[in-house]
Amino acid sequence: MSDWLSSLAGTEQGALAATILALVSAVAHAAFGALQKGQHDPWLTRGSIDFWLVVISAPVALFLVPWPNAATALILVGTVVIHFGYKLTMALAYERAAYTVVYPVVRGTGPVVTVAAAAILFNEHYTWTQWGGVALLSGSILLLALRNLTEETLDRRAVQIGLAWALLGGLFVALYTTYDAWGIRQSPDPMTFLAWFFFVSALDFPILGYIRYRRMAAPPTLGPLMRRGILGAVIAWISFGGVMLATYLDKVGEAAVLRETSTVFAALIGWFILGERVGPRRLILMSGIALGAVVVEFG
């Protein structure tokens, strides 16, 4: 499979596959975010998801793909650190503010930084039209967060802290998108990088989640939490694996921008599943997000 992926990289077929992977990743990531913000404590949910990621990924990493060489192993160490920072900021943000406020801020901060980094690090070239699309997409996402914020009824101080963590989370999104794209391209075998990424980067939060669970006065029953975790683990493979393969096959910046259409899907999830309201202004901003992605892809 790795040889087939390598043969697609940089071709028209690869570009089409990257577009499809990025959009599938967007849908999956919106569902992933909703799972972490749902009925359970976000720390426990993330711990459960990562526990199942280890269970699912370990056999693949240990027995089905080649083991990483020394250079890939060193890159994976950096991946673990960066993704731990991302998961930490997301848990802290979700703990204090509503999903529909936090998620757009995180996703709106990342694309501009990612596209700029890709232009520098990977020598990717973007037209002024495409930069306009990036601005439209990110601006619409951040305005969506502002619109959601005006209807927030929780403690204002808690919301402000949550937004600060969300902004930092957005920077981590740009950092891990760029770093992971570089890492998977440096690895001799892209599937080795993917399998070991999911294995080693998921070892931390099960420990934090267990500690938090033991300290709770009334911990939740494990059955529903574990079911949510295994579903989240499968979605994570689709979401993070999809966008990494997209950055491997085609431009990093374009894949990153397309993935941020997850904000549209997140708003729909918040509307239909979490019972959060979506009015005409949000629909207009969601249209702006989608249009920005289209402009970047075809501009």
Tell me, rounded to whole angstroms, the distance of Cα 132 from its chain centroid: 23
Tens digit of pLDDT for each residue in 164-208? 898 899 889 889 989 999 999 999 999 999 999 999 999 999 999
pLDDT at 39: 61
- For CA atoms 121, 65, 249, 142, the dihedral sign is negative
Helices 222-249 and 252-259: crossing angle, nearest 10°?
A: 150
Tens digit of pLDDT for each residue in 220-262? 888 888 998 999 899 999 998 999 999 999 888 888 888 878 8
Question: Domain extents for the chain?
Answer: 2-298
Q: What is the chain's alpha carbon radius of gyration, rounded to the nearest angstrom?
A: 19
d(CA 48, CA 227): 9
Task: List CB contacts of 116: < 8 A, sequence separation 6 or more.
Answer: none
Residues of the chain with pLDDT under 50: none
* Residue owning tokens 């921008």: 257
pLDDT at 37: 59
